[in-house]
């Protein structure tokens, strides 16, 4: 049974749109991880997990969960729209703005949670303790990556207008 060329073209365009949306969101995620490591001054994330297989594995696993959420959201609702040369019809600007705003919200909440746990110690725990173990740092990064992935996924899935 031969597949019609329109179907194959539509499938290819869907894949390209999902790929580009995923790529943009993954780059946003990498930037988010870099920024959170700058904001969490008492935790030296990459220095601590470097050379530790479990800490590194947790970090990579968290990134895979993040990537899975981003790719799934991008496949269902990409913000890369058409083949037109005009920028406004090339991207869904509203979706891109929602994803960007969500990224900044995740950074704000990441900073807020870090500040609360590091300075106010609401549960009587010192956040410096995380830095004592590469596994703990790996879990910390894993948690942030899942947190960021859920926020980006939500921003991709939110209905617009």
Distance, in Å, from the CA atom of 114 to the CA atom of 51, rounded to the nearest integer, reads 25
pLDDT at 64 (0 to 100):
96
Query: Contact, 141 vs 33, CB < 8 A?
Result: yes
Q: How far apart are the first and last CA of the chain?
A: 40
Low-confidence stretches of the chain (pLDDT < 50) are 83-87
**pTM for this entry:** 0.82
- 91 forms bridges with which residues in the sheet? 80
What's the burial of 48, exposed, middle or buried (CB within 10 Å: 0-12/13-18/19+)? buried
Measured from the Cβ of residue 103, the count of other Cβ atoms closer than 10 Å reads 20
| Model pLDDT, residue 144 | 92
Q: In the prediction, which pLDDT does 161 show?
A: 64
Cα 149 from Cα 22, distance rounded (Å)? 11
- What is the tens place of the pLDDT at every residue in 11-24? 787 788 888 889 99
What are the two backbone dihedrals, phi and then psi, of residue 158, each rounded to the nearest 5 degrees?
-65, 130
Q: State residue 86's pLDDT score.
A: 45
Q: Which residues contact 81 (CB under 8 A, 6 or more apart)?
A: 17, 89, 90, 91, 92
Structure tokens, 110? 């990441």
Mean pLDDT, the chain, whole residue set: 84
């Amino acid at each position: 049974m031969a597949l019609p060329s329109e179907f194959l073209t539509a499938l290819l365009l869907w894949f390209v749109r999902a790929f580009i949306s995923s790529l943009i969101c993954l780059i946003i995620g990498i930037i988010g991880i870099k920024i959170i490591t700058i904001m969490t001054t008492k935790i030296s994330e990459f220095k601590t997990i470097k050379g530790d297989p479990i800490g590194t594995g947790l970090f990579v696993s968290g990134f895979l969960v993040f990537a899975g959420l981003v790719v799934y959201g991008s496949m269902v609702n990409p913000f890369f729209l058409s083949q037109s040369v005009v920028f406004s019809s090339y991207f869904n600007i509203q979706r891109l703005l929602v994803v960007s705003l969500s990224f900044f919200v995740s950074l704000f909440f990441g900073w807020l949670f870090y500040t609360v746990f590091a300075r106010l110690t609401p549960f009587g725990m010192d956040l410096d303790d995380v830095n004592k173990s590469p596994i703990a740092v790996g879990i910390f990064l894993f948690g942030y990556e899942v947190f960021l992935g859920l926020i980006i996924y939500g921003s991709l899935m939110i209905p617009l207008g």
